[in-house]
Amino acid sequence: MGVAYPDVLEFAGSDRRKHMASGQADGQEKVPVIQVKDLYKVYRMGDTKVYALNGVDFTIYRGEFCAITGPSGSGKSTLLNMLAGLEHPSRGEIVIAGKHIEKLNEKQLVTFRRERVGFIFQSYNLIGTMNALENVALPLSFRGIGKAARNVKAKQYLKLVGLERLAGNMPNQMSGGQQQRVGIARALVVGPQIIFADEPTGNLDSKTTMEVLRLMQKIVREQNQTLVMVTHDNNLAGYADRIFKIIDGKIVHIEENHRKVQTEDPETAREDGETAVSPEQTDNGGTDGRGETEEKTEGGEGEK
């Protein structure tokens, strides 16, 4: 699919464009966006305590794509939900764009999520009684944007994910991959600073998974947003700039992913203004699709 791109960028906030080329480019100042300090989440199950998060520290920078991997039950979703302000930690600090979100009350958290965060779920969570366009436009109505402007912007984002022609389809009239792309458009339409994705391709076939992954990687890179994605799949983690491995509620290491799977050269992409996504672009020379990684730290990354 090849879709127009720069016009959509205009909608995402022009200030973001000044910071192109993202936090991981050499020699460029890294701007911390998410800072986690000594984070714990303890669930009580009768007499026993489950340490879903058992002392977690890290920093994520603007423009980064971070993958959180680990076995089932290791605390990945718990961590993501806490970063997104969906659950309160038992102890510790979460500073997002300079704000301590562990100190916010429910009402403040609702505002925080609306203004800063996009969330992509494995199960899409589209509203079944709304068509694709209405689903994408929904977050804009929460921001008080009028219907005409909402629809224009929602159409731009549907186009971005290659689904403009399905704007009038209801969720049950779309494939899983198409619904997932609607979910991505909905998460991105408000130009959130940070996008959290929990197993965003968990229900998709491998080809659609690669398309969705490349699309997310590209959009986030172009708009210098920050993407935090939970996945148990090492191939998918291969798209990330850094890979966080979590076991039993602890981050056991953080890898710099030097040979991450690329969509295409960012310079070329900006010049030709396309998000062309073709299957050939997944090829990173065989192996497991992840390339070489380098273990950076153990037990969390120190503060800058």
Ligand X SMILES: Nc1ncnc2c1ncn2[C@@H]1O[C@H](COP(=O)(O)OP(=O)(O)OP(=O)(O)O)[C@@H](O)[C@H]1O
Residues that bind ligand X (CB under 6 A): 43, 45, 50, 52, 70, 72-78, 232
3-state helix, strand, coil in the chain (%, to 5): 35, 25, 40
Q: In a 3-state reduction of DSSP, which class is residue 154?
A: helix
For ligand X, give the closer residue by CB, 232 or 259: 232
- State both tokens at 275: 């998000």
**Cβ-closest position to Mg ion:** 77
Is 81 one of the binding residues for Mg ion (CB under 5 A)?
A: no
Least Å distance between CB 168 and Mg ion?
33
The CA distance from 109 to 58, in Å, is: 21
Residue 83 interacting entry, from ligand X, Mg ion, none, C-beta within 5 to 8 Å by type: none
For ligand X, give the closer residue by CB, 32 or 202: 202
Contact criterion met (CB below 8 Å) for 254 and 300 = yes
Residue 238 interacting entry, from ligand X, Mg ion, none, C-beta within 5 to 8 Å by type: none
- State both tokens at 216: 């997310």
Q: In this structure, are strands 250-256 and 242-247 parallel, antiparallel, or unpaired?
A: antiparallel
Residue 74 interacting entry, from Mg ion, ligand X, none, C-beta within 5 to 8 Å by type: ligand X
Least Å distance between CB 207 and ligand X?
23
For ligand X, give the closer residue by CB, 2 or 73: 73
- Segment near Mg ion (CB under 5 A); pick from 10-18, 70-78, 152-160, 181-189: 70-78
Residue 50 interacting entry, from Mg ion, ligand X, none, C-beta within 5 to 8 Å by type: ligand X
Q: How many chain residues touch Mg ion (CB under 5 A)?
A: 1
The CA distance from 221 to 67, in Å, is: 14
**Dihedrals φ, ψ of 231, to 5°?**
-155, 150
Least Å distance between CB 80 and ligand X?
8
For ligand X, give the closer residue by CB, 99 or 253: 253
Give CA 171 to chain center in angstroms.
22
- State both tokens at 195: 């996008």
Least Å distance between CB 78 and ligand X?
3
Is 77 one of the binding residues for Mg ion (CB under 5 A)?
A: yes
Is 69 one of the binding residues for Mg ion (CB under 5 A)?
A: no
For Mg ion, give the closer residue by CB, 40 or 262: 40
* Torsion sign over Cα 171, 78, 70, 191: positive
Q: In a 3-state reduction of DSSP, which class is residue 289?
A: coil
Residue 78 interacting entry, from ligand X, Mg ion, none, C-beta within 5 to 8 Å by type: ligand X
Contact criterion met (CB below 8 Å) for 43 and 49 = yes
Least Å distance between CB 240 and ligand X?
17
Give CA 46 to chain center in angstroms.
35
Q: Footprint of Mg ion on this chain (CB under 5 A)?
A: 77
